[in-house]
Copies of this chain bind each other. A is one copy, B any other.
Amino acid sequence: MNFEEFKEIVVSHAKSNSQDAFTENRKDIRVKKEKTVVKNLERIFEATLKIGNEKGFHAMSMRDLSEETGLSMGALYAYFKSKENLLVMLQRNGRDSFQQILEQSVTEEAGPLENLKIVIKTHLFMSEAMLPRFYFTYMEGKNLNKDEKKIAVEHEMTSDGIFTDILKQGEKLQVFKPHNHELTTAVIKAMLNDWYLKRWKYAKLNVSVDEYAEYLLRVVEGFCLAQPQP
């Protein structure tokens, strides 16, 4: 699997993003016509990601957002009840679709090594396909309130669990070396996150997402595989 092949899966999923956001946040959204909501919510999310990644969510004013979306301030507030609420909607929405896709990527039939490769590539390709979303979610996570922060941490632990389970199963089947698999997961995640956190660096190094995927896999295999490969 390379990025080009993967892209279609994500794009089809991404379409349903604002749809999901509508059903999840119905009670906070004053506008009732679903078609209108889906259309405008998509514009609002996109604009928020754009401005938010340029100058930070807190520094983005509602006037900025109004200008970028083409909607008036009054209209904007028909789609969320406060600026903070908008942040929460965006974050939840992003995390949910991420988790869904990641969970679906693992298969019972595949062996541990194959599954590990799949989740690493899925994670990486998803971040590539939705760069602004991932960057925003990472950077603005700290601006969430206490409860939402807790939810965010739980989500991350769940997705870490997917990796860790694969590693543990691999150890049992003697495909992988015994290690502190939670820690291995942590460093794999660190390398995966770096791809969207340090765009300028990888652009400068002229590395494609497919090349980065192969590189990561070699690093991980070098450390995890019980029998080193040729």
Contact = CB atoms under 8 A, between A and B. Distances in A.
27 contacts: A55-B143, A56-B56, A56-B58, A56-B142, A58-B59, A139-B139, A139-B142, A160-B201, A180-B205, A180-B207, A183-B205, A183-B207, A183-B215, A186-B194, A186-B198, A187-B194, A187-B215, A187-B219, A190-B191, A190-B193, A190-B194, A190-B198, A218-B223, A219-B219, A222-B222, A222-B223, A228-B228
B56 A143 contact: yes
Given A58-B59, A186-B205, A180 B223 contact: no
Copies in the complex: 2
A181 to B, nearest CB: 11
Interface in A39-78: 55-56, 58-59
Given A56-B143, A186-B202, A222-B223, 10 more contacts: A56-B56, A56-B142, A156-B201, A160-B201, A180-B205, A183-B207, A183-B212, A187-B191, A190-B191, A228-B228
A189 B156 CA distance: 21
Interface residues of A, number: 34
Q: Main secondary structure on chain A at its contact with chain B?
A: helix
A113 interface: no
Interface of A: 55-56, 58-59, 139, 142-143, 153, 156, 160, 180, 182-183, 186-187, 189-191, 193-194, 198, 200-202, 205, 207, 212, 215-216, 218-219, 222-223, 228
Contacts of A218: 223
Contacts of A58: 56, 58-59
A227 to B, nearest CB: 12
Contacts of A215: 180, 183, 187
A156 B197 CA distance: 14
Contacts of A153: 200
A200 B180 CA distance: 17
B143 A59 contact: yes
A139 B182 CA distance: 25
A56 B87 CA distance: 15
Interface centre among A153, A187, A202, A205 (most CB of B within 10 A): A187
